[in-house]
Amino acid sequence: MDIAEPDLPAGTGVRNPIATLRRLARPKPVEERCELCSAPLAQEHQHLLQPANRQLFCACDACAVLFGNGQTGQYRRVPRRIEHWPDFQIGDVQWDSLGIPITLAFFFHSTPAQQVMAMYPSPAGATETMLAADVWQLLVDDNPALAELEPDVEALLVNRVGGARDYYRAPIDECFKLVGLIRTYWRGLHGGNEAWAQIGRFFESLKARSVKPRKHA
58-93, pLDDT tens digit by residue? 999 999 998 887 666 789 999 999 999 999 999 999
pLDDT confidence of residue 5: 42
pLDDT confidence of residue 216: 58
pLDDT confidence of residue 100: 92
Q: Judge if 111 and 199 occupy the same domain.
A: yes
Which residue, of 30, 54, 77, is where some domain finishes?
77
For the stretch 33-46, pLDDT in tens is 999 999 999 888 99
Higher pLDDT residue, 99 or 166? 166
What residue numbers bound the domain in which 157 lies? 83-208
pLDDT confidence of residue 123: 86
Q: Judge if 114 and 174 occupy the same domain.
A: yes
Q: Residue 53 in contact with residue 17, Cβ under 8 Å?
A: yes
**Average pLDDT along the chain:** 86
Determine the average pLDDT of the residues in 115-123. Answer: 92
Q: Does the pLDDT of residue 163 top 70, yes or no?
A: yes
Q: Judge if 107 and 204 occupy the same domain.
A: yes
Q: Does the pLDDT of residue 113 top 70, yes or no?
A: yes
What b/e string do you get for 62-77 counting C-beta neighbours within 10 Å, with b at 16 or more? ebbebbbeeeeeebbb
Higher pLDDT residue, 57 or 3? 57
pLDDT confidence of residue 68: 81
Distance CA 101, CA 64 (A): 36
Which residue, of 32, 49, 77, is where some domain finishes?
77
pLDDT confidence of residue 137: 94
Residue 38 lies in a domain: yes
Q: Judge if 72 and 123 occupy the same domain.
A: no
Read off the pLDDT band of 180 (50, 70, 90). Answer: very high
Distance CA 110, CA 185 (A): 28
Residue 13 lies in a domain: no
Q: Judge if 91 and 72 occupy the same domain.
A: no
Q: Does the pLDDT of residue 99 top 50, yes or no?
A: yes
- Range scoring the smallest mean pLDDT among 26-30, 64-68, 174-178, 189-193: 26-30
Residue 5 lies in a domain: no
pLDDT confidence of residue 175: 96
Q: Judge if 97 and 185 occupy the same domain.
A: yes
| Per-residue H/E/C for the chain | CCCCCCCCCCCCCCCCCCCCHHHHHCCCCCCEECCCCCCEECCCCEEEEECCCCEEEEECHHHHHHHHCCCCCCCEECCCCCEECCCCCCCHHHHHHCCCCCCEEEEEEECCCCEEEEEEEECCEEEEEECCHHHHHHHHHHCHHHHHCCCCCEEEEEECHHHCCEEEEEEHHHHHHHHHHHHHHCECCCECHHHHHHHHHHHHHHHHCCECCCCCC
Distance CA 80, CA 163 (A): 28
Read off the pLDDT band of 30 (50, 70, 90). Answer: low
pLDDT confidence of residue 11: 47
Domain count of the chain? 2
